[in-house]
Amino acid sequence: MGASPAYLLPLLQLSDSALPTGGFSHSFGMETYLATGVVHDEVTFAQWLHVYIARQLTCCDGLAIRFAYEALDGGRGVDELVRLDRELAAQALPRQVRTAASTMGRRMADIGETVCDSEVLARYRAAIDDGRAAGHPALAYAVVAHASGAPADAAIEAFLFATASSLTQNAVRGIPIGQNAGQRVQRGVYPVIATAVVETRRLTRDDLGAVAPGLEIAQMRHERQRARMFMS
């Protein structure tokens, strides 16, 4: 029996829903739909999650990972990561989402340094510390995945599933739905994520940050929601 790819364990570690980046504190607008009754059970949550993956995660996080890989492969490294970081921060119109990305990006960079020794990651972390970059979890993740030898498609797929898993756990306790329902939802995103990975290969720089208006409006409204369980 052959050995598993060397990148498998780093990807599993970074994709663990228990990774302490603070993802358990954020619903990324799902709680707004929960408050209005649009999301209220397993089926409606799955519908929201599929749209969130296809219309926000693909054009933001997934595409950012692809561009980060291209920058690292092309020797552009930290300068291009900082440029991508600034673009991602600028296009994140909801303040809570922008703040969440920065906070989780810092944590991902910190954790990434325990997973692999990467000069690029150290320099990206320094750019965050001195204010040249805000920090974004997809970019920090991409640097570690790239340094571990993971193919870009595998990195994107793992990152999107990790995000879907984290949001599903939030739905399990927030809606609430049962753990078995959560597992069915996670199994249901397999084809959605597979399509998203293919889509990231087709998209261009002009598509970075494209988000469905309804998702952004829900994320903006969450900030002034009367009762909240989540930070975003």
Architecture of domain 8-15+23-222: Orthogonal Bundle (1.10)
Domain ranges of the chain: 8-15+23-222
CA nearest 93: which of 218, 2, 6? 218
SS3 content of the chain, % helix, strand, coil (to 5): 70, 0, 30
- CA 10 to each of CA 37, 64, 152: distance values in angstroms, whole numbers, following the listed order: 39, 19, 14
CA distance 227 to 165: 24
Asked whether residue 24 carries a pLDDT value surpassing 80, the answer given is: no
- Please state whether the predicted TM-score (pTM) of the whole model is above 0.85: yes
The mean pLDDT value of the chain amounts to: 93
Q: CA 60 from chain center: how many Å?
A: 8
On whether the CB atoms of residues 112 and 131 are closer than 8 A, the answer is no
CA distance 17 to 15: 6
CA distance 199 to 208: 12
Confidence of residue 62 (pLDDT cuts 50, 70, 90): very high
CA distance 227 to 174: 12
On whether the CB atoms of residues 23 and 121 are closer than 8 A, the answer is no
CA distance 23 to 61: 14
Asked whether residue 2 carries a pLDDT value surpassing 80, the answer given is: no
Give the pLDDT of residue 1: 55
Question: Higher model confidence: residue 228 or residue 213?
Answer: 213
Contacts 24+ apart (CB under 8 A), 40-48: 40/175, 41/175, 41/177, 42/177, 42/181, 42/184, 42/185, 45/168, 45/171, 45/175, 45/177, 45/185, 46/185, 46/188, 46/189
- CA 188 to each of CA 14, 42, 43, 155, 208: distance values in angstroms, whole numbers, following the listed order: 22, 11, 11, 19, 26
**In the block, residue with structure tokens 């990651």:** 121
Confidence of residue 21 (pLDDT cuts 50, 70, 90): low
